[in-house]
Structure 1
């Protein structure tokens, strides 16, 4: 059994897809077990090749049968290393230590995990980001505005999202606003301020959200999980970056249907505590977003 640890969120899972596919190809006869949050199971099913999801909550302790190989796709350690070593694997592939490659904070997240596997002799394809499209019945051709993000520093002000939604709606876009259960209030505020009908905030499961993005005309969001789903499906997108550089977390530069806006620098990079958006995110204007949105859908 191959045990892989990636106990993070949607965007983290999406950026780990090429590495997971490389492991599947390298060990076709082994059971591939992914330790990840259970709520991600519908999305993990769209990757293909994962035989078992081991539901975990972050780096909380768990126990499995001793794997032949444990692969740390979670982080640089040491906590994640120790968690996997407690499973008594025959081998551990991870950054650092006496055997593994050196961790770099200056490489793209997709490339990082592919490099880890390449160090151990596994062939990878960093462009293998695609996901299967769920069969959930969803509207096609909508423009999605997604104002939420896990970190407050990655949330562009909702009134600016509303201004974008209002202008695109006036230009003929069928605009809907998405958000998690915790983001329903901000999504409803964007809908109200934009003058959209209340039904523009749909109830979506993770599977139906993926289907909605796969069939969308355009996605506008911050640097959060849904932007990685747009990359996976080739859906035109405009992503607003604040604390992180798109060179580390953005779409591959050769995918021209995905546009990014970032006014930060390496010296300003990094999430900041508190309730306010990152200063680089606040420098992004409504007109900038609208101009790129029009270019992507013209």
Structure 2
């Protein structure tokens, strides 16, 4: 029997779903797990053994099922379907169209499906783990991990290969998919300048579409060869390898931050419209500093809005530089304890109190 799982979203969404995907395997041992997701992302997860195969999908498009996967072997018409994409009804209907033998999904009257209740205030990782645990698929935040807590040789510049290809470097990722989560380039440049002035080897990362942004940050940082620009030149496997051996990752609330969580790489993450209590790190918390100036009592804001979020706009350069210095000068904690982010309702630089989050895609 095949278990067809839908999570046709981006990098951060895929990584926050890894724990639940491992729970799917435990719920149905011996079954073939097929992930409906963007091809490069799904294949990368398959290469890690998280799933067995990827059915290329982007968003809530019709899934060709039964599907002839690699080698031409076609799946049987029946399947078990798992919706890790959203609360429905659209995503429920995409899976219902495959005529599954059973559907695991959150309760949605419009889709005619009965299941566990959706909780707006639940952390993204815990939400999907709860769904899978409802059918006996044990999973927890520790299942997010994709590698050892530390690479062989440690994370310092003395590590093997530390001076080659960015290994052991401080990575700065200034971009994000939406304007709401993009801290201004001029501020990123000042952070990069400060890191380079302290003698750190800095590497800028970003997508092909973010090459112009990274070029601007590097130019305005005015730090010469101390800053290298790798934007637009790294596929997902290469980016993951770079993050896994970095001394520190500094970024906004975007997919690459979840790579730092997966590999236990120390990080500083700037949050804006979404509270870190709902999308922030869930494991190795002493390694991950989060900066958020939001108000948990305010109504939720759109993380995909077309203008800079006010909470992110309030983050000053000095606070980010100080967080980087703290992360780089303190030895990373080695404890593996899992803690739900919590804290005061005032701006903080670790964990923030929860507030309602925007609904997941349908």
TM bin (shorter chain): over 0.9
The question of whether the paired residues in 2 share the 8 Å contact of 1:42 and 1:206 is answered with no
- CA deviation string 1:153-195 (max 9, x = no partner): 0000010010000001000110111110111100110011111
Deviation at 1:130, TM superposition (A): 1.3
Q: Is the 8 Å Cα contact of residues 72 and 81 (structure 1) preserved in structure 2?
A: yes
Q: What corresponds to 1:106 in structure 2?
A: 121
Distance 1:110 1:160, change over 3 A: same
Q: State the partner residue of 2:96.
A: 85
Higher helix share: 1
Q: Does 1:289 align with 2:317?
A: no
CA contact under 8 A between 2:46 and 2:54: conserved in structure 1? Answer: no
After superposing on structure 2, the runs of 4+ consecutive aligned residues of structure 1 that deviate more than 3 Å are 196-199, 272-275
Deviates more, 1:60-69 or 1:222-231: 60-69
Partner of 1:32: 33
Kindly report which structure 2 residues correspond to 1:172-187, keeping only aligned pairs within 5 A, or say none. Answer: 172-187=199-214
Residue equivalent to 1:5: 6
User: How many correspondences in the alignment?
Assistant: 296
Superposition CA RMSD, Å: 1.9
Q: What is the aligned partner in structure 2 of residue 248 from structure 1?
A: 278
Q: Specify whether residues 46 and 236 from structure 1 end up closer, same or farther in structure 2 by C-alpha distance, changes over 3 A only.
A: farther
Contact preservation (8 Å) 2:197, 2:223:
no
Q: How does 1:141-290 map to 2 (within 5 A)?
A: 141-197=168-224, 200-202=228-230, 203-252=233-282, 255-266=285-296, 267-271=298-302, 275-290=306-321
Q: Is 1:126 paired with 2:156? A: no
Larger Rg: 2
Distance 1:125 1:46 in 2: 21
Cα distance in structure 2, aligned partners of 1:103 and 1:223: 23
Give the alignment partner of residue 75 of structure 1, picking from 81, 86, 106.
Answer: 86
Instruction: Flag the 1:113–1:296 CA change in 2: closer, same or farther, 3 A.
Output: same
Name the TM-score, length of structure 2 as normaliser.
0.78
SS at match of 2:277: helix
Equivalent residue of 2:99, what SS? coil
1:128 is paired with a residue whose SS is helix
Question: Any conservation in 1 of the 2:179–2:307 contact (CA below 8 Å)?
Answer: yes
Secondary structure of residue in 2 paired with 1:265: coil
Q: CA deviation at 1:275?
A: 3.8
Does the 8 Å contact 1:17/1:47 carry over to 2?
Answer: no
Contiguous gaps of at least 5 residues in structure 2: 67-76, 152-163, 330-362
Name the SS of the counterpart of 2:23 in structure 1: helix
